[in-house]
Amino acid sequence: SQKIEQNSEALNIQEGKTATLTCNYTNYSPAYLQWYRQDPGRGPVFLLLIRENEKEKRKERLKVTFDTTLKQSLFHITASQPADSATYLCALRSGSARQLTFGSGTQLTVLP
Amino acid sequence: DGGITQSPKYLFRKEGQNVTLSCEQNLNHDAMYWYRQDPGQGLRLIYYSQIVNDFQKGDIAEGYSVSREKKESFPLTVTSAQKNPTAFYLCASSALGTYTDTQYFGPGTRLTVL
């Protein structure tokens, strides 16, 4: 069956360090993968998209990698700040399906 | 401001009652979606619609119903047949015709069954 797994439910890091979040998937052939940020009690907000033929995408302090051989995406936040504390969700679209399937998310806490 | 609105923010329901959650968007998006989120879990798709007067079941449609009479509106009814309706409900929309299907979410409605 298809599955999306995000590493550890919670991740704590010190301010200024790089946070790395993992998204693994099985039995998908995703055309692209998206990352969203969700704050408590709010709806998710789109951050970045990476296509199957792209290895890396950057946006300010954010970097996403996509390895279709390993079936894994890594999401990095460099020079992390307490304001980066949130839950981060990865989402996949597969082939022609016009739906996204979301992982359960990783809750990131950046400690001052 | 363009965006998606959901109302109410908090909703309390007695067992056995139907309740309707509102979702409105002014982004001119064709597609709209309803998700359910439970603590510690990801978003699960309830229903989605790609065009007015048409909608499809998602992964967990049982006990829910929707309508799409206008492009801007996609209300969700939680019926008494839904056995465990207490959850956080999120509405989203996206523009069709783009490859990416990036979704824009509303602020959510937290439903509690008393």
Judged against a pLDDT cut of 60, whether residue B1 lies above it is answered with no
Q: How confident is the model at residue B15 (pLDDT cuts 50, 70, 90)?
A: confident
Which residue of A99, A104, A106, A107 to mutate against B (max B Cβ within 10 Å)?
A: A99
Average pLDDT, chain B: 92
pLDDT at A95 (0 to 100): 59
pLDDT digit string, tens, across residues B65-74:
999 999 999 9
Report CA-CA distances (Å) from A43 to A5, A38, B75, B97.
20, 6, 17, 24
Highest mean pLDDT, choosing among A25-39, A64-78, B92-106: A64-78
B58, A99: Cβ pair inside 8 Å?
yes
Residue A18 DSSP one-character state: P
CB nearest to A43's CB, from B42, B90, B96: B90
CB nearest to B108's CB, from A34, A41, A46: A41
Q: How confident is the model at residue B45 (pLDDT cuts 50, 70, 90)?
A: very high
Contacts of B106 in chain A (CB under 8 A): 43
Closest chain B residue to the Cα of A89, Cα to Cα: B42
pLDDT at B69 (0 to 100): 97
More confident residue, B96 or B30: B30
By the CB < 8 Å criterion, does B99 face chain A?
A: yes
pLDDT digit string, tens, across residues B82-91:
889 999 999 9
Q: How confident is the model at residue A7 (pLDDT cuts 50, 70, 90)?
A: confident
Strand order in the sheet with A3-6: A3-6, A19-26, A72-77, A62-67, A56-59
CATH code, A3-111: 2.60.40.10
Neighbours of A24 (CB within 10 A): 16
Stretch 51-70 of chain B: residues touching chain A, C-beta under 8 Å: 58
pLDDT digit string, tens, across residues B27-38:
999 999 999 999
pLDDT digit string, tens, across residues A72-91:
999 999 999 999 999 999 99
B43, A89: Cβ pair inside 8 Å?
yes
Which residue matches tokens 């064709």? B30
